[in-house]
Structure 1
Amino acid sequence: MTCAVSVLLPVRDAATTLEAALRSLLRQTFSDFEIVAVDDHSQDGSLEILRRWAQREGRLRVLENPGRGLVAALEHARAAARGALLSRMDADDVCHPRRFELQVSHLLRHPELAGTGCRVRLFPRGRLRQGWIRYESWQNEIVSCDDVRRERFVESPLVHPSVTLRAAAVARAGGYREREWPEDYDLFLRLLEAGERLDKVPRCLFFWRHSARRASVQDRRYDLERHREMKLHFLLAGPLSRTAEAAIWGAGPNGRRWARLLRDAGRRVHFFIDIDPHKIGKCLDGTPVRSAAAAQDAALPFVLGAVGSPGARPLIRQALRAVGRVEERDFLFVQ
C-alpha cells in the first residue's frame, strides 16, 4: 500500500522525548503518510513505546535495525519506505502541524526541486549559547535554491530532520553512506554537486531540540575537522577540480587551516587577503598576506573566503563582485 510521504524516524534511547515527537507527527494536517520507525538497539524502553503506539496507529511501522548506527537505520527505513517523498524526523524533535502540508504542496508546485526544508527554531531557549543563536539565524536566512547552493561549503545549508526529499533523487545520489563525516551533509553535497535543486519553505515548521545527547554533539564524525575533510573532498571533486591554484581571503585561524589543507592536497595557495594592517605585508606559514586591493588583480586565482566574522561574507562578496568576479566560477566561501 503506497502513500505520499514516508517519515524516516531512527530511534535510539529516546524514551523521554519520543512520545512528543510522535504526537507532533500524528497531529499533522496532511494525513497521507506513514512513519517508518527503526529502533537502533535502544536500552531504555524506546522500542516498547513504539510498539505500543503502533497498536493504535496503523500508519506507524516499527522495524529493528539489522545493523548498528544511524546510517544503517536510515537505509533500513529508506528501503522499507513506500512513499514518493521521504521526510526526515528525529525522536527528540517536534513538527509544526502544517509541516507536511506545506512541504508537500511546495514540492507539487515545484517539480524541479529534489527536496525542501523549512526554517527552524532551537529549543529549549535557556540552554542556547550565542553561537547557536547565530547558527539558527544563518540557517533561517537560507531559503532559495541559490542561497542553499551558495552557502553549501560554509555549513550544511539545511537541517536534516526538517527536510522532505524526493525518494527518487535520494536513490540517484546513492542514499545515505557510512563515512568519517556527517551522513546528512554528505547527502546534501552529493545532491547539489549532481545539479539537484534544494530550497526551504520560508516558514518555521520545525522545532529542533538542542541537547548534549545529540549525535552532532557527541559523535566525532560531526566535529569541525571531519566537516573540513568532507568539504575539501567535494571542493576538489567539484569547484577546485579545474584549478591547481587558489587565494584565501582571511588570514586568521580558519583561513590558515584551509591553506594547509589545500597545500596537503597538492594545491598552490598564492597568498592570503586580509584587512588587518598587522598582517598585511607579512608571511604566515610561508604565504604572503596582501590587502583587499589584491582582489583587483587581473590574474587573481580562485578565491576561498574563509572569514567567519559576522557580516564579513556579504562584504567580501560585494568586493569581489565589484571587480567582476562571479561566485562559484571565481570564488566560494568555506568555514
Structure 2
Amino acid sequence: MTPPRITVALSVHNNAAYLAEALDSILAQSFGDFELVIVNDGSSDASPAIIDAYAARDARIRAVHRRNSGLIASLNHILELARGEYVARMDGDDVALPERFARQVAFLDAHPDHGVVGTRVLRITETGEPKRGAAIDHPLSAESVTAALESGPLLCHPSVMMRRDLLRAVGGYRPAYRHCEDYDLWLRLAERTRMANLPDRLLLYRYSGTQVSNRHVLVQHYGAAVARQVRIERLAGRPDPSDGWQELPPIEALDAAFGRDGVARAVRSEVVTGILFDPPSLAGAGLPVIVAHLADTHGHPAGRVPGLWRAVARLARTGRPLAAVRLARALARDRIRR
C-alpha cells in the first residue's frame, strides 16, 4: 500500500467541546492524501466516543486510546507510527482552513532545503468568535525566523508541517521541556534546516484562559531559558547536557549540570523578565526566583531586570495584596543591603 503524503498528528485530552469541529476541518481539506493519527491521551469526557465515531466512517483515521501520558509522549508515539513523508500538527480545539495542507505540501515540495513550514493564524475565543487582536504575525522567511530564535514567536505549533525523517533525526520531542517542547524542537531543528511560515492565515487558534500556555507561564519561561543555554553548548561544539533528561533540574543545580558558572544567573534573569506581566507567577513560585535574582545581581545593578517595583503595583491592582507586600519587602531589603 502506498503511504500517504501526510501524517496528521493529533493528541486529544478532554477536547470534546471542540473536537468534532477540529476533525471536520481536517477531513474537509482540499488535499486529502493523509492519514490522521489520533491519540486519545486518557480523556475522561466524550472525546473517546467522538474519535471512535469519526474513525468508523473514515478509513484515513487511526485511533489510539491510552492512559494519560502527556502531550510529549503522545506526539512521540504518533511519530513512531507515522507513515507520511510530512507530519502536520493539529490540536483538538483548533480549526484548519481548507487549503492549509495543500499550500504547505506545495511549499515543502518546492523548497527541499526547508524542513518546517507553519502558517500565520487567527485567534478565536472559546465560542469561536475572532479574539481582539486576532491576527498573530509570525515571521515569514527562514531568515526572519532565524533572527527571532532568541525572542519569538517563531511558529504556531499546531499550524506546522514538518518532514518526518528530519523530525525523527533530531529525536522528536524531549520530555524535559514540558510545556515548551515546541521551542526546544525549533532550536534543534534550526541547526539542521530552514524554517518558514506561509503568509496565509490557515489556522483558527482557539484561545482560552485555561489552556496550557496560560497555566504554566513560569514553567514555560524556565524551560525556554534552559533550552537557549543548551543551544549555546551545542553551537560551541559541546555535548547537549539535557540529552536524556526526563525533567529539568532546579535552577540552583544548573551550573553543575552544565559544568560552567553563570548558567543559573542567566536563566533566573530570563525567567524574571518573562513573568513580570503574569501576576499568578509573581504571586506564586516566581517570588523565590526574583529573590534569588536580587542576590545574583547584588552589587551589579546593571544586571538587574527593570520593572520589579512596577510588578508590585501590578500585583496590588490584580487583587494580590499579600503577594505585593512580599515582593515589596524583598525589594526593600535588597535596597537596604546595597
CA RMSD of the aligned region, Å?
Answer: 3.0
Cα deviation 1:31-80 (Å, max 9, x = unaligned): 10110000000000101110011111111110123661111110111111
Residue 153 of structure 1: how far off its partner (Å): 1.2
CA distance in 1, matches of 2:103, 2:110: 11
- The answer to which structure has the higher helix fraction is 2
Secondary structure of 2:44's match? coil
Structure 2 CA distance, aligned partners of 1:237 and 1:69?
27
2:85 match: secondary structure: strand
Aligned residue in 2 for 1:197: 194
Give the counterpart letter for 1:53 in structure 2.
Y
- Kept after mapping to 2: 8 A contact 1:156/1:185: no
The aligned counterpart of 1:179 is 176
The 1:219/1:47 distance shift into structure 2, 3 A limit, reads farther
CA contact (8 A) 2:123 2:130 kept: no
| Sequence identity percentage | 33
CA displacement, residues 84-112 of structure 1 (integer Å, 9 cap, x when unaligned) = 00000000000110000000001111111
Where structure 1 has 5 or more consecutive residues not aligned to the other structure, the ranges are 242-261, 269-283, 291-305, 309-335
Q: Residue 180 of structure 1 contacts residue 221 of structure 1 at CA under 8 Å; is this kept in 2?
A: no
Per-residue Cα deviation, 1:285-330 (whole angstroms, up to 9, x for no partner): 434759xxxxxxxxxxxxxxx999xxxxxxxxxxxxxxxxxxxxxx
Alignment of 1:1-335 (within 5 A): 1=1, 2-65=3-66, 68-124=69-125, 133=133, 139-181=136-178, 182-192=180-190, 194-219=191-216, 222-238=219-235, 264-265=262-263, 285-287=298-300, 289=302
Indicate conservation of the 8 Å contact 2:138/2:155, yes or no.
no
> Which runs of 5 or more residues in structure 2 are unaligned?
239-259, 267-296, 308-338
Return the alpha-carbon distance in structure 2 between the equivalents of residues 87 and 141 of structure 1.
18
- Separation in 2, partners of 1:99, 1:10: 19
Is the contact made by 1:65 and 1:76 (CA closer than 8 Å) also made in structure 2? Answer: no
Summarize the Cα distance change of 1:288–1:25 in structure 2 as closer, same or farther, 3 Å threshold: same
TM-score (norm. length: structure 1): 0.68
Matched residue SS, 1:34: strand
The two structures have a TM-score, normalised by structure 2, of 0.67
Is the 2:11–2:39 Cα contact (8 Å) retained in structure 1? yes
Counterpart of 1:175 in 2: which secondary structure? Answer: coil
Structure with the largest fraction of strand: 1
The C-alpha deviation readout for 1:2-52, integer Å capped at 9, x for no partner, is 100000000000000000000110111101011000000000010111001
* Secondary structure class of the residue paired with 2:231: helix
Q: Distance in 2 between matches of 1:127 and 1:108?
A: 32
Q: State whether residues 172 and 185 of structure 2, in contact with CA within 8 Å, keep that contact through their aligned partners in structure 1.
A: yes
Q: CA deviation at 1:222?
A: 4.6
How many residue pairs get aligned? The number is 252
Q: CA deviation at 1:235?
A: 3.0
